[in-house]
Structure 1
Amino acid sequence: MQMNLRETIDQSPMSAYQWAVIMMATVMNLLDGFDVLALAFTATAIRAEFGLSGTQLGYLLSAGLIGMSAGSLFLAPLADRIGRRPLLLISVALSALGMLGSAFVSDAVTLGFWRLLTGLGVGGILVGTNVLASEYSSRKWRSLAISIYSSGFGIGAVLGGIFAVALQKEYSWHAVYLAGALLTGLCFIALWVWLPESIDFLLSGRVPKATEQLQRICRKMGLKGNWEFVAPAQGVLRKPSVFRLFEKEYARATMLIWTAFFAVMFSYYLISSWTPALLKDAGMSTDQSITVGIMIAMGGTCGSLLYGLLASRWAARSVLILFTLLSAAVVVAFILSSALLWLAMLLGIIVGACMNGCISGFYTLNPSIYAAEIRGTGVGWSIGVGRIGAIFAPITAGSLLDYGWDKQSLYIGVAFVLLISSVALVFLRSRSTLRAV
């Protein structure tokens, strides 16, 4: 009797091999956190060496984010054409090359180019790891698996900061990028050896000799059976395209997930980028304001894992709506209580936890909206649109402050943006033909 492999994986306990795939995705995300924030760790030294103005440094800081958006938007469709594994290998190689080039620059313009290339690779990695983690996890543990993977970014950022301080003290800022290139290169070798192709992509019938690959993967997962695998007839497979995201079947969900993701990423990056400066202007010392910023980052890792645990028991979309509502409330409480350092630190952790929980929720929900044949494109464009929100957030905040907004008004405005995300999620429904989340 033939059995449906996708349904069997959804209903079976997670094997050690499946968790190993999740760990590979987590390590890639951890290195992404280091690679993306390397410029933040070395900004002071770079500004001094190249004599940059604040505006010039700002453009340099934006280069990585622009690259990430471009990677999510334009590399993502490759996941549906050539596979998740090739996309990840290409993206990791680009990231390693970008870090290596950054280590040997002699001017800011060249550094900006290499940071753009690094961001391009990271954008592709985010899409590939998100889809792969979703497809290799069971229905019960999918939310937790994706949350573990997404928490790697924050861990990488914290560890990267620690290593960056040590490397710059002993050598120079160039050593930070060289270390990032070496680590990412080692990751590429490990992925080349051990990373499997996506099960859903193999089941789509786009890969020659897919049955043999599926049988090998099934043996490693401890699954035995006569699996249902029927290659689509010639001409049935349709070419992956971003325009398919706006077909009748997907258009409503696409616009809602884009709106919700843009709003959350806009809010998170506005708060994470402006909070230290605004708190310092409000009377905190530099060290105190940075400490609160670190608390927000530390809370993020906890929030990602908390979301995963809750979504393993209740519907992922419902938990995500709860996190967006809590984020809006806590943001307002945070800014109104910022005069007290201990309370600001406590609420900073909660803000980071709630908002990073939201991001984990989108990583969980995103793949469930689209069929396997366009899942990479759908996930990539959702992440890319969210990253566009991240790019505009600091600029928008600066403009509003120049127009006379105070920090309380700014953060209350962020709360309203988060409520827009909540409303969009209320009207969002995953496709009934896809796996439940």
Structure 2
Amino acid sequence: MSTSPVDIKAWIDNRPVGRYQWLILFLCFLIVLFDGFDVAVMGFVAPAVLQDWGLSRAAFGPVMSAGMVGLAIGALAAGPYSDRLGRRKVLILAVAGFGLFSLLCAFASNPYELAGLRLLGGIALGAALPNATTLLSEYLPEGKRALLITIMFTGFNLGSGCGGFLAAWLIPHHGWHSVLLVGGLLPLLLLPVLFWLLPESPRFLATRQAPTVEIAKLLNKLGGQFDAASRFLVEARPDQSKAPVRALFSERFRLGTLSLWLTYFMGLLVIYLTMGWLPTLLRDGGLSIERAAGITGLFQIGGTVGAIVVGWIMDRRSPDRVIATSYALGGAFLLLLGAFSLESSLLALGVIAAGFCMSGAQTGLNAFAPGYYPTEMRATGVSWMLGIGRFGAILGSLIGGAVLSLGFGLPTLFVLLGLPAFVAALAILGNGLVSRRHATPALNTP
């Protein structure tokens, strides 16, 4: 039994990934999988709902936007509560929330009820992703963290994709309500498993001065041999007179926080502009609807592979430079799309490459951000980055139609798509410069 002071982060960093960490990764993957399903589900059921209720697309717009607004609110609100109450509690509440509200959506009788429920469900969905990221990051060694977090994030794409296939099978046989019922029941069925198996972060417990025996019990599941006499070290705390949100703007974190926000905002702006309006752009250029949709789908496929590859490289090279390079290459490939003929096979390859780089960088940023903040404000830092970034997604969804209506040629439109990617690359490089100025020493915690 060890009675020497133990730096929890350094101890985890110096150990291989064990079965207990793989279990936590699997649980977080399932949460993100169901999160992705419920975020995307309204897009899959929208045509059936419009037909069933006799609505126009404009009348259904508030339902679609309500979920997006909820995602932003949930991400902004969840972080401070997680840093105060714990990652596990907030994460379980988030899963319960989006499961329940998705279930209730199946019984909505008009678009106003559906919009209100989607707003509440979106808040819960927005709280889940940053907390899953934060909890998992605090259990992983630094040398494997980026790869394993990006693997977790592939669950989001998988959940979104599976939602489409499930909706295509369920709606003809059981109606659109059945898709929402499944989207609600699956996370609710996961809740007992989370109560039983999902642990709290030992680093969070140490910062809250929890009983040493609780921390020792968790670390022993990772292969440790600690007891109640052990002492543990965690990062030096930020100014405790400040709330976590205010601490994001303290002198030490201000510039890095703003650069992370700008990077995530610009990345989501590009991705949502591309995913939302590329089919229309290609259709207006003369491609069939089927081919336009198929080529756009390649962006998502490339992004899923890119996330894992970028995460793997981040664990072996300077993470901020890897992400910046990926954003810059993504922007370059988007610029090149304007030079390709719409009938050329190079167009499809360019879309795959752009998705590989852009989504790879964006997912890599989710793995990068937890390492920038100390434990006591980590969930707030990650969730606020995601929350601010959601406004980039909302802006991308809103302005695409206006940009297309300006009558620019395809090369100019692809330039407009690519430019924010270069801004994102410069912003994350700025964060790296700020990060290297500050070391995070350990603090003895009783």
TM-score range, shorter chain: over 0.9
Matches within 5 A, 1:167-178: 167-178=170-181
Report the CA distance between 1:344 and its aligned residue.
2.6
3-state DSSP of counterpart to 1:140? helix
Q: Distance in 2 between matches of 1:125 and 1:175?
A: 23
Aligned equivalent of 1:133, options 107, 128, 136: 136
One-letter amino acid of the structure 2 residue matched with residue 176 of structure 1: V
Secondary structure in 1 matching 2:142: coil
Q: Call closer, same or farther: CA 1:162–1:416 in 2, change over 3 Å.
A: same
Q: Report the equivalent of 2:51.
A: 48
Aligned partner of 1:274: which letter?
A: W
Match of 2:224 in 1: 223
Q: Does 1:124 align with 2:127?
A: yes
Matches within 5 A, 1:346-385: 346-385=349-388
Q: Who is 1:192 aligned against?
A: 195
User: Does structure 1 residue 147 correspond to structure 2 residue 150?
Assistant: yes
Counterparts of 2:170 and 2:243, CA distance in 1: 44
Pick closer, same or farther for the CA change 1:183–1:338 going to 2, 3 Å: farther
Alignment deviations for residues 255-291 of structure 1 (CA, whole Å, 9 cap, x no partner): 1111111111111111011111211121111111111
8 Å CA contact retained: 2:9, 2:234: no
Structure 1 residue 383 displacement after superposition: 0.5
Secondary structure in 2 matching 1:3: strand
Comparing 351-360 and 320-329, the one that deviates more: 351-360
Q: Which residue, out of 26, 29, 34, partners 1:31?
A: 34
% identical equivalent positions: 31
Query: Which amino acid in structure 1 is aligned with residue 213 of structure 2?
Result: E
Which of 291, 302, 307 matches 2:305?
A: 302
CA distance in 1 between partners of 2:215 and 2:94 (Å): 24
Find out whether 1:433 has 2:434 as its counterpart: no
Structure 2 runs not aligned, ≥5 long: 442-446
| TM-fit CA distance, 1:240 | 3.2
- Which residue of structure 2 aligns with residue 107 of structure 1? 110
RMSD between aligned alpha carbons? 1.9
Q: In terms of mean alpha carbon deviation, does 402-411 or 251-260 score higher?
A: 402-411
**Residues in 1 aligned to 2:336 and 2:234: alpha-carbon distance in whole angstroms:** 55
Q: How does 1:241-256 map to 2 (within 5 A)?
A: 241-256=244-259
**Shift of residue 230, structure 1, vs aligned partner:** 6.9
> Is the deviation greater in 339-348 or in 38-47?
339-348
Could you tell me whether the CA contact under 8 Å between 1:80 and 1:240 is conserved in 2?
no
Matched, 1:12 2:15: yes
**Contact residue 8 and residue 233 of structure 2 kept, 8 A:** no
Shift of 1:22: 1.3
Kindly report which structure 2 residues correspond to 1:204-353, keeping only aligned pairs within 5 A, or say none: 204-207=207-210, 209=211, 211-225=212-226, 227-229=230-232, 237-238=240-241, 240-337=243-340, 339-340=342-343, 342-353=345-356
Given the superposition, is the C-alpha separation of residues 230 and 200 from structure 1 closer, same or farther in structure 2, using an over 3 Å criterion? Answer: closer
- Over 3 Å counting, the alpha-carbon distance change for 1:118 and 1:341 in structure 2 is farther
Pick aligned residue for 1:82 from 80, 85, 91: 85
Q: Which runs of 5+ in 1 are unaligned?
A: none
Aligned with residue 419 of structure 1, among 394, 399, 422: 422
The structure 1 segments of at least 4 consecutive aligned residues displaced by more than 6 Å after TM superposition are none
Question: Contact 2:248/2:254 (CA < 8 Å) preserved in 1?
Answer: yes
User: What is the CA distance between 1:225 and its match in structure 2?
Assistant: 4.3
| Matched letter for residue 219 of structure 2 | C
Structure 2 CA distance for partners of 1:195 and 1:341, relative to 1, 3 Å: farther
Mean CA deviation greater in 382-391 or 182-191: 182-191
Rounded Cα–Cα distance in structure 2 between residues aligned with 1:35 and 1:175: 13
> Displacement, 1:170?
1.3
Structure 1 counterpart of 2:224, which letter?
Answer: L
Provide the rounded CA distance (Å) in 1 between the counterparts of 2:173 and 2:122: 27
TM-score using structure 2 length:
0.92
Residue 410 of structure 1 aligns to which amino acid in structure 2?
L
The amino acid of 1:214's aligned partner reads I
How far apart in 1 are the matches of 2:339 and 2:45? 32
CA separation in 1, counterparts of 2:76 and 2:55?
30
1:64/1:221 CA distance change after superposition, 3 Å: same
The separation in 1 between residues aligned to 2:209 and 2:71, in whole angstroms, is 27
* TM-aligned CA deviation for residue 348 of structure 1: 2.0
Cα contact 2:7–2:234 (8 A) shared by 1: no
Per the TM alignment, residue 293 of structure 1 is displaced from its structure 2 partner at its CA by 2.0
Measured after TM superposition, the shift of residue 239 of structure 1 is: 5.5
Label 1:333 to 1:231 Cα distance change in 2 as closer, same or farther (>3 A): closer
Decide whether aligned partners of structure 1 residues 366 and 338 sit closer, same or farther in structure 2, where only a CA change above 3 A counts.
farther
> Structure 1 stretch 398-407 or stretch 8-17: which is displaced more?
398-407
Closer, same or farther in 2 for the Cα pair 1:231/1:238, shift >3 Å? farther
Distance across 1 between alignment mates of 2:65 and 2:344: 30
Letter in 2 for 1:105: A
| Further displaced range: 121-130 or 287-296 | 287-296
1:408: which partner in 2? 411
